[in-house]
Structures are given as C-alpha cells and as structure tokens.
Amino acid sequence: MTLKIKRSVCPYDCPDACGLLIEVIEGKAVKVSGDPDHPFTRGTLCPKMNRYQETVHSPLRLTHPLLRTGEKGSGQFQPISWKEAIDRIAQRWKEIIKRSGPEAILPYSYAGTMGLIQRNAGHAFFYKLGASRLERTICSPAKEAGWKAVIGNTPAPHPDEVEESDLVILWGINAIATNIHFLHGVKSARKKGAPVWLIDTYKTLTSTVVDHTYIVRPGSDGALALGLMHLLVRQGLIDKDFLATHVQGFEALKEKILPDYPPEKVSRLTGLPPDTLESMAKAYGRAKKPFIRLGSGLSRYGNGAMTIRTIVCLPALVGAYGKRGAGCFTSTNTSEAFCMEAILREDFMLKKTRIVNMNQIGWALNELKDPSIESLYVYTSNPAAVAPDQNQVLKGLAREDLFTVVHERFMTDTARYADIVLPATSSLEQSDLYRSYGTYCIQRAKAVIPPVGESKSNWEVFCLLAKAMGFEEPFFRQSADDLIDHLLSIPSPMREGMDQKTFQSGKAVELPLPKDARTKFRTPSGKIEILNPKEPHPLPHYFPPYGGNGPFYLMTAPSFYALNSSFRERTDLRRKERAMFLKMNPADAEAKGLREGDSVVAFNSLGEVSFLLRITPGVPQGVVVAEGIWWLEHAPGPRSINALTSQRLTDRAQGSTFYDNTVDVRKASKC
Ligand SMILES: Nc1nc2c(c(=O)[nH]1)N[C@H]1C(S)=C(S)[C@@H](COP(=O)(O)OP(=O)(O)OC[C@H]3O[C@@H](n4cnc5c(=O)[nH]c(N)nc54)[C@H](O)[C@@H]3O)O[C@H]1N2
Ligand SMILES: Nc1nc2c(c(=O)[nH]1)N[C@H]1C(S)=C(S)[C@@H](COP(=O)(O)OP(=O)(O)OC[C@H]3O[C@@H](n4cnc5c(=O)[nH]c(N)nc54)[C@H](O)[C@@H]3O)O[C@H]1N2
Ligand code: SF4
Ligand SMILES: [Mo]
C-alpha cells in the first residue's frame, strides 16, 4: 500500500476556492485536508469539505449511464452502455433538429464545479449545434451590475487587507458559512481593536463572531445607505478632498437625493432606531479605514442592483476607496486572467440564437413556443431544486414529450426526471484550471484518482456528443489538459509578474494587483460615479422590493452544512443539520398558536412547503427563515424551498430574486 499526497482545488461555488491536499491509496482518496501553502486556505477547510472523500467515494455515486424505465420523477432506470446512451441522444437530437430546428434544444448548467474547463465545457458544443442559449443569471448579476455602475472595472482590494481595517462591516453575508477563510483577516483586525458589524435580516451564525448585529427589514439596505450618507453630510464627516478629486456627482446626490433620507424616515424603512442610525454614521465617519464586505443576499430582490449601487457609494463619501485596508469588497474579478473565448468558442454559432433566462426555466419549459423546448440537457446544476418556482419547474420536467438528459454525480431531484442519466466524474477525477471570485488565486489541478465507475467528465462527454453529431472541428478532439495548456499559452496582462514556478508545481499563486488600483478608477469618467449618466436613474435612490401579500418575508438563506443543493448526499452533514427547519420569532409563533418542533406549512400563491418549526428570537417579527436547499427525498413534504420563490427578475441584469418573497404559515394538518 503506497500513500501519495496530491494537490487539488475545491471545485465548489465558494469565494474561497481552497487548495486541497488529497491522500491517495491505491487510486482512492482516503483523506482531504486544507493546503497549508495556499495563501487563503492556510491549511484549514470548512466542515463540508473536511471529508470530501465521502462525497467522492459515496455509495450513492452514479456509475453507469441509465435509461428511464418508470414514470418521470420516479427514479426508475436501467443501466445502459455509454455507446447506447450517446447514440440515443444523438438520434433524438437529429430528429428534433429536423422537425423543429436546433433552438428546440436547451442546455442548462451552472456551477456544480467552478473549474474553467469543466464548467464551460458545453458552450462550444451548443453554439455549434445552434441550440437556444441559456442566460446564466441565477446567482448575483445584479450585485455585479450595481458595483460596476459606480466603480466600473476597478479591481477589488486584496481580501486580506481587511486585517488593516479599524471598522469591519459584514453586510448581507453569512461569512461563517459562505466565506469562512475571509474571517481570518477579520479576526486579526478585531484583535487589533476594530469593531466588527454584521448587517442582516436575522441573527445568522456569523452574528456569534461580531461585535454588533444590526437587523434590517428585507430589501431596505439601499435606504440604510442613503440614511447613513445623509448623516455623514450632516455630521460633517465627509472627505471633501477625496470627493473633489475622485468622485463624480456627489453634489447632485447631496442636493437632490440625500435630503429625502433623514433618520426618522430611514428608521421607518429599515426598522433601525434613529439613534442607532446616528451612532452607526458617527462610527463609520470617524473610522480611518472602514472596510465593507458585501454579500450577495441583498442583491436578490426587485431592487437588488440599486441596493448594491447605493451601498457602493457610501465608502466614497469618506474617501475609503483611496486607502489600503478600507473600501468595499464585493468580489474579485479575475476574468481577464484567461482568454475564455478560446474555450467558449462563440464563433461556432452561425446565427444568434434565442436566449432563455435560467431563472425562468419553469416558464420556458411550460410556455415557450416557436419552437417549444423539446429537449433539455442538464449538467453541473440541479434546477429541480435550485431554480425558483419549483412547481412550474417540476411540471415542465414531467412533460412526456420533453427529452431530458442529465449528466450528474448523484441521483438528484433533476436526474430523477431524466430520460437518460450520464454519470459524471468528481473534481478529483478530472483536470481543470481554477480562479477565484473571493481571492486573486489561480491554480491548476490534474486528476488525482481514476474515474469512479464509468463516469466521464463534462468535457469528455461533449467530445463524444460532438463526434456523434458529426462535428468535424479538431477543437472537439482535444483533452481537457490540451485546453488548459492552450489557455495558458495565451498571454494576459493580469498574469504578468505572477510566480510561474510555483504555479507550474501545482500550487496556488496570487495574481498581482495593479499598483494604481487605489488612484485610477476604471470607469468612463476615471472617477467613482455616484452620478452615472448611462444608468436609467443617473443617481442612486431607494425604491421598495417586490414583497408580496403574505405576513412574513421568507429568507431562503445558505446552509452551513451544504452548498446550494450540493453535499445532500452526505448523511454525516445532514445529521448535523438535523432537519429542514423554518425559523420564526416567538411573538409570531404565539400569535399563530405554533410551538417549537411543530410540523408547519409555509405557503403563498406559488406553492406550499412543509418544515419543522424552530422558534428563536434571532429572527425578527414578520420574517421567517429557511436555511439550505434540500433534496426532495429528505424534505418533510413533497416540495422544497423553491416552491415558494418566484421567477421575477432583478431591476438590472436579469438576476434571481430568491429573497424577495412572502409567505403565510399554518400548522400542518395531521393525516
Ligand atoms: N455553506 C454554504 N456556502 C455557500 C453557499 C451555500 O449554500 N452554503 N452558496 C454559495 C453561493 S452559490 C453563493 S452565491 C455564496 C453566497 O454567499 P452569501 O453572500 O453569504 O449568501 P447569500 O445567500 O447571498 O446571503 C447572505 C446573507 O444575506 C442575508 N440577507 C438577505 N436579504 C437581506 C437584506 O435585504 N439585507 C441584508 N442586510 N441581508 C440580507 C441573508 O439572511 C444571508 O444571511 O455562498 C457560496 N457559499
Ligand atoms: N432558495 C434558494 N435557491 C437558490 C439559492 C438560494 O440562496 N436560495 N442560491 C442560488 C444560487 S446563488 C446559485 S449559484 C444556484 C446554484 O445552483 P447549482 O449550480 O445548480 O448548484 P448545486 O445545487 O450545487 O448543483 C450542482 C450540481 O452539479 C453536480 N456536479 C458537480 N460537479 C459536476 C461535474 O463536474 N459535472 C457534472 N455534470 N455535474 C457536476 C453536483 O452533483 C450538483 O448536483 O442556486 C440558487 N438557488
Ligand atoms: S470554504 Fe469554500 S472553497 Fe474552501 S473548502 Fe469549503 S466550500 Fe471549498
Ligand atoms: Mo451563487
């Protein structure tokens, strides 16, 4: 028995993009730990990934292609060979293309793996096929739009700069669950005396590691930011020199917008008392290096992009963007590090095909015409669980005339509706190149174990499909490593000056930040654009989110023990989470006659979902919280969280609005 230790990268949709050390014995991963040489991971992993080998070698892994034998959704299949699976798919697609054209075929993918090759493996194939295109906006495009409207392409600070801050604000981020390694720098700042604030809609686990938690009404943060700016002006705590040199539109904001946001009004909108607003503004204005870490949750509302845009203006008033250890961090944009056009191959598309928004897959499967969607190919995503309006999604997936192929590691809610299921490799079984959206690290990973069962990577499957469809391009005859080598052969200014030797050795390296990141703002005007003439509303202002008729705002927050619907195969993690809970304030529970541990049903016009009730003062009145996206087989009722979320989109960038829904709650009837 020989033990080998190999390097890999955490493939999940998490800003940390940790470096992994994998202990391998006889082709099996036996232990996974954090890479001590990774600058952000520093040798520790989150509770989800500590036992990644149990996901990789789970008895639930799909090991053969499968053909449906029972009703859609029943999960009844028989094993078939890869040849039969690929032949059946190609034959069915050729028939559909002949009858209705290639736009009747729709790919559906997101971020099951973040590796640049495997995540984007289908783009070239579907462009060449002429299929409908998927608008991939389920995560946080409104956050990006809001940030860019003010800051353009200016690079975010290095995340570790937070160590130098003297006031840290975790704003709409449950960092202990979703960005745990960032807390290393936060802890250092706190040790040096910096107070740490959390601004959220309920007391998340992160509230246990901060000094103050401020609970705001859902979707009201834009008003909070305007209120704080009003007070900064009133208290004379603005940086006039910085504003005059580096900011466009402050005077207009001050004269036209801020007078409308006095503390009394902002208090009514946000639920924070006026004196709290006063003290927050004072502390923020007096801090020398205030650092905001902005999450994504608050961008998933009908006013999401405007909320982010407004918050991003706040540090400009105190000159925080000009200082190390201060400013605002939303995410790092490392997209220019690699020339992704070489992988995506949009040039394979002969005519611009129609675009379907992934948040409206429920609508598209049921309503879209000319042509209707006749085939869905799902990879690296689990739309039956993660997409909004689950009842519509499942209704669409149940269509007998829809030919669905799902390429997956596990029998997910979506795979159960497939006509053909293809087994997918895990990240340890495939090569890839990773960049991060929470750090400036990049890292290359090679397969460290052979494929489990007959599983194949996304890229391998698209090469097989390309051959079966008769695509002649040599592009489809390369390996994933060929593609990575090609990407690395294309120079990029962002990779200049990086440590090549360390990168070649398989370790993570950091892309160097430009020297002028604090003085040269990459916007059309060269200044921070509080006033942006290209926006429909040139100045930020507050408007309310969609809301709804229900008495409770529903927070559909991330789980500490899962990542979206990933990790649900893991009994150890599910046991720790215990059950699918709905959290409610004691006064609301009393008014409804509900008790701790009751079986309850949350409902609205879209659907009904069963939960176990957990009563806690950490949730304010008028709000209920459901953490995590569960697989249906583990849910107490026939639906999971997204039966309560709508397909409405954000104000800008066509994003999802997972947090912008209301519900009522009743006790489940005994049957
Ligand atoms: N453990 C774990 N880690 C994850 C994930 C997971 O599911 N579990 N998901 C991954 C993915 S895909 C992503 S995009 C990131 C997301 O990471 P985050 O940005 O941390 O998560 P979000 O879901 O965006 O929401 C974060 C917080 O926003 C709060 N919130 C909701 N509405 C409002 C509001 O109106 N105002 C304020 N101030 N706060 C509000 C929620 O209560 C929640 O605590 O995390 C990634 N990492
Ligand atoms: N209610 C509610 N819904 C949400 C959210 C929320 O906060 N609340 N968050 C939303 C957000 S931010 C996001 S980003 C989306 C995420 O939505 P998805 O990207 O769909 O995320 P996952 O649920 O993690 O599902 C990924 C699937 O990919 C599979 N997979 C992993 N690696 C591979 C691979 O190499 N090949 C193939 N073929 N498959 C692979 C995994 O087994 C898993 O089933 O969910 C959204 N949905
Ligand atoms: S913190 Fe994020 S990147 Fe790191 S191991 Fe956990 S899920 Fe992966
Ligand atoms: Mo996401």
| The 3-state secondary structure of 404-465, one letter per residue | EEEEECCCCCCHHHCCEEEEECCHHHCCEEEECCCCCEEEEECCCCCCCCCCECHHHHHHHH
Give Cβ neighbours of residue 207 (< 8 Å, ≥ 6 apart). Answer: 198, 200, 213, 618
CA distance from start to end of the chain = 56
Question: What number is the average pLDDT over the span 286-308?
Answer: 98
Question: What number is the average pLDDT over the span 425-450?
Answer: 98
Residue 286, H or E segment = helix 274-286
CB 49 within 8 A of CB 32: yes
For residue 49, report the distance from its CA to the centre of ligand 3, in Å. 6
* Span 49-100, pLDDT tens digits: 999 999 999 999 999 999 999 999 999 999 999 999 999 999 999 999 999 9
* Span 8-39, pLDDT tens digits: 999 999 999 999 999 999 999 999 999 999 99
Q: Looking at the DSSP assignment, which residues form a beta bridge with residue 79? A: 66
Query: Which atom of ligand 2 lies nearest, measured to the CA of 427?
Result: 35
**Minimal-distance CA residue to ligand 2 atom 10:** 139
Hunting for tokens 């250092």 — which residue is that?
188
Q: What is 348-405 written as a DSSP string?
A: G-SSPPPEEEGGGHHHHHHH--SSPP-EEEEES--HHHHSS-HHHHHHHHT-TT-EEE
Site to probe by mutation for ligand 3, drawn from 33, 48, 436 as the one with most ligand atoms within 8 Å of Cβ, is 48
**Minimal-distance CA residue to ligand 2 atom 39:** 380
Q: Find out whether the beta carbon of 359 lies less than 6 Å from any atom of ligand 2.
A: no
Give Cβ neighbours of residue 553 (< 8 Å, ≥ 6 apart). Answer: 201, 217, 218, 547, 622, 623, 624, 659, 661, 662
Q: Using N-to-C axis directions, what is the helix angle for 304-317 and 221-234, rounded to 10°? A: 20
**Minimal-distance CA residue to ligand 1 atom 22:** 297
Nearest alpha carbon to residue 543 among 297, 200, 221, 273: 221
Domain ranges of the chain: 3-56, 66-136+336-435+441-497, 141-333+516-529, 552-667
CA distance 146 to 234: 26
**Minimal-distance CA residue to ligand 3 atom 6:** 46
Count of other CB atoms within 10 angstroms of residue 91: 11
Question: What number is the average pLDDT over the span 567-572?
Answer: 98
Alpha helices in 41-200 (DSSP H): 53-56, 82-100, 116-119, 123-129, 141-151, 175-178, 182-191
* Span 334-389, pLDDT tens digits: 999 999 999 999 999 999 999 999 999 999 999 999 999 999 999 999 999 999 99
For residue 172, report the distance from its CA to the centre of ligand 1, in Å. 7
- Backbone angle region of 27, left / alpha / beta, with phi > 0 → left and psi within -120 to 50 → alpha: left
Question: What number is the average pLDDT over the span 257-269?
Answer: 98
Q: Find out whether the beta carbon of 405 lies less than 6 Å from any atom of ligand 2.
A: no
Chain centre distance of CA 189: 27
The CATH number of domain 3-56, selected from 3.90.1150.60, 3.30.200.210, 3.30.420.40, 3.40.50.12780: 3.30.200.210
Q: Find out whether the beta carbon of 438 lies less than 6 Å from any atom of ligand 1.
A: no
The pLDDT, as a whole number, for residue 514 is 82
CA distance 260 to 262: 6
The CATH number of domain 552-667, selected from 2.40.110.10, 1.10.10.10, 3.40.50.300, 2.40.40.20: 2.40.40.20
Query: Which atom of ligand 1 lies nearest, measured to the CA of 559?
Result: 8
Average pLDDT, the chain: 97
Peptide bond just before 544 cis, omega within 30 deg: no
One-letter-per-residue 3-state SS of 9-77: ECCCCCCCCCEEEEEEECCEEEEEEECCCCCCCCCCCCCCCCCCHHHHCCCCCCCCCEEECCCCCCCCE
**Strand duo 623-625 + 552-555: pairing:** parallel
Site to probe by mutation for ligand 3, drawn from 7, 18, 435 as the one with most ligand atoms within 8 Å of Cβ, is 18
Phi, psi of 202 (to 5 degrees): -155, 170
For residue 548, report the distance from its CA to the centre of ligand 1, in Å. 21
In CATH, the number for domain 66-136+336-435+441-497 is: 3.40.50.740
- Backbone angle region of 492, left / alpha / beta, with phi > 0 → left and psi within -120 to 50 → alpha: beta
The pLDDT, as a whole number, for residue 145 is 98
pLDDT of 671 higher than 70:
no
Q: Find out whether the beta carbon of 431 lies less than 6 Å from any atom of ligand 2.
A: no
For residue 181, report the distance from its CA to the centre of ligand 3, in Å. 8
CA distance 410 to 387: 18
**Minimal-distance CA residue to ligand 3 atom 2:** 14
Hunting for tokens 């997910």 — which residue is that?
412
Count of other CB atoms within 10 angstroms of residue 440: 25
Q: Note the maximum CA span of the chain.
A: 74
Residue 158, H or E segment = none
Q: Find out whether the beta carbon of 48 lies less than 6 Å from any atom of ligand 2.
A: no
Q: Find out whether the beta carbon of 178 lies less than 6 Å from any atom of ligand 1.
A: yes
C-alpha angle with apex 171: 166 to 177, nearest 5 degrees? 105
Q: 141-333+516-529 is classed in which CATH architecture?
A: 3-Layer(aba) Sandwich (3.40)
Q: Find out whether the beta carbon of 219 lies less than 6 Å from any atom of ligand 1.
A: yes
Band (pLDDT 50/70/90 cuts) for residue 515 is confident
Q: Find out whether the beta carbon of 138 lies less than 6 Å from any atom of ligand 1.
A: no
Query: Which amino acid is located at 251 in the chain?
Result: E
Give Cβ neighbours of residue 3 (< 8 Å, ≥ 6 apart). Answer: 23, 24, 25, 30
Query: Which atom of ligand 3 lies nearest, measured to the CA of 48?
Result: 6
Where does ligand 3 bind, in terms of residues with CB under 6 Å? 10, 12, 14, 16-18, 45-46, 48-49, 180-181, 563
Residue 481, H or E segment = helix 480-489
* Span 591-618, pLDDT tens digits: 999 999 999 999 999 999 999 999 999 9
Hunting for tokens 């704003």 — which residue is that?
171
Q: Name the token pair of 524.
A: 């059309």
CA distance 209 to 560: 15
* Burial zone of 493 (CB within 10 Å; 0-12 exposed, 13-18 middle, 19+ buried): exposed
The pLDDT, as a whole number, for residue 1 is 81
Nearest alpha carbon to residue 409 among 293, 565, 610, 194: 565
**Minimal-distance CA residue to ligand 2 atom 20:** 381
Alpha helices in 194-273 (DSSP H): 221-234, 240-246, 250-252, 263-270
pLDDT of 670 higher than 80:
no
* Burial zone of 359 (CB within 10 Å; 0-12 exposed, 13-18 middle, 19+ buried): buried
* Span 415-432, pLDDT tens digits: 999 999 999 999 999 999
